[in-house]
Amino acid sequence: MSTPLVKQRFLTPIFSICLFISLTVSAAGLPPYVDGQPLPSLAPMLEHSMPAVVNISTSTNIQVNENPLMQDPYFRQFFKAPNQSRQQQKNSLGSGVIIDSSQGLVLTNNHVIDKADKIMVTLNDGRQLNAELIGTDPEADIAIIKVTAENLTQLPIADSSQLRVGDFVVAIGNPFGLGQTVTSGIVSALGRSGLGIEGYEDFIQTDASINPGNSGGALVNLRGELIGMNTAILAPTGGNVGIGFAIPSNMIMPIKDLLVKHGEVKRGLLGVTTQDLTPELVNAFNLDNKHGAAISRIESDSPAAKAGLEPGDIIVLANGRAVKSSQDIRNIVGLLQIGDNVNIEYFRGNEKKSVVATIAKKEQPQLAGEKLHRLLKGTVLSSTQKDQLEGVLIEKIQTTSYAWKMGLRPGDIIVSANRYRIVNLTELQKVIAPNNPLLINIQRGQEGFFVVLR
């Protein structure tokens, strides 16, 4: 049985993996000086860093039916029963980091504020502020929110590429809603990926205690500089076992710039599918090189195809960064924008070659919801991507629309309509009638529920 990786969510601590830290100074019985020298303390650094870490609380209104049978419009019509749905409020807790005091920008995890109707930020000095959502990147689990206030403290940003295993680190957050807490540890490992937590993974691993509520909190070095954002823990029993993961600052900052500028990250396409280079593949391809990502598929008419890459090529370097696994190439390409060039060095057999490919726009057909059904007005729909649950994705939705009032949110996936399983826009169009009531089954993260539009 595999050990679960826990991602911190507000209402379910076992499935929430927030990274936060509690500075526990057990100074009882210790003298302030030893041999005339003061004992080392993290307190001076924390006095400057802790005001930049905030508590985030959210509330989300969801539609709930008193009786599951009432979700079926045909059942209600037969028994002439009224709709007994009501609104229920879901509350969650997490952490955030002020990274720009002049603009009031706060960094946190996407899963901390995902689908929230209201976001409240509590500062270290006790002030409570309403926050505005600036942008989110669910695939990297990064979000930026904004508060309006004076005398904010921001954390300076460090270059996470300079980290070494064994460096001391401190985690700051709000575990279990207890209030600001600090814990310390070391960098246990770097470049952790393939954990299945996020779409893009390049985690810092630390043994600083991380617990539910720490998500979105700060991982800092001993100079009080932000080196990562606490995001997940390895939790066989749902609690901390000394294996926590943080998104490095060098991944956060380029995404933060895109979120502030565009509100989202529009990732481009290279057009390769890769797999890790195993000893078996090394032998099968008769390679001298034992590290890299093997290209298993090239999409037709893609940038990779136009650059001359072929299945069987082994990518070893991309934009000067070593590629040791398929996750490495995914991360590198995932941080590039449409139109950016990527310099790729690769082996074809034992001959080393290099090419330059230009990242292209992903072609994803979209459709305005009102073209399918009048009650879907204000939504933008698309078929889900190959790495998502099959269905129809609600990409955008106007907050003033009827669909929003009925509880639909961006990122929801429609998996059935009028009791028919659907996997794309074409199938959805076939099973609905523009003027009839619409019963849809929504998948939202790990939750599934029905919504009736009429």
Q: Would you list the DSSP string of 194-259?
A: -SSSSSS--EEEE-S---TT-TT-EEE-TTS-EEEEEEEEE-SSSS--S-EEEEEHHHHHHHHHHH
Look at residues 318, 367, 366 and name the one whose alpha carbon lies nearest to residue 344.
318
Tell me if 354 sits within 8 A of 344, measured CB to CB.
yes
Which of 193, 209, 215, 416 is flagged as catalytic? 215
Amino acid at 164: R
Report CA 302 to chain centroid distance, whole Å. Answer: 27
Which of 137, 141, 328, 412 is flagged as catalytic? 141
| Helix (H/G/I), strand (E/B), else coil: 141 | coil
Backbone angles phi, psi at 43, to 5 degrees: -55, -45
Q: Which helix (H) or strand (E) holds 113?
A: helix 110-113
Task: Verify whether residue 111 is a known catalytic residue.
Answer: yes
Which of 57, 95, 111, 160 is flagged as catalytic? 111
Tell me if 172 sits within 8 A of 218, measured CB to CB.
yes
Task: Verify whether residue 291 is a known catalytic residue.
Answer: no
| Helix (H/G/I), strand (E/B), else coil: 115 | coil
Distance between CA atoms of residues 256 and 143, nearest Å:
8
Look at strands 132-137 and 105-108 and give their pairing. Answer: unpaired
Task: Verify whether residue 85 is a known catalytic residue.
Answer: no
Tell me if 240 sits within 8 A of 232, measured CB to CB.
no
Tell me if 277 sits within 8 A of 294, measured CB to CB.
yes
Distance between CA atoms of residues 297 and 304, nearest Å:
10
Catalytic residue IDs:
111, 141, 215
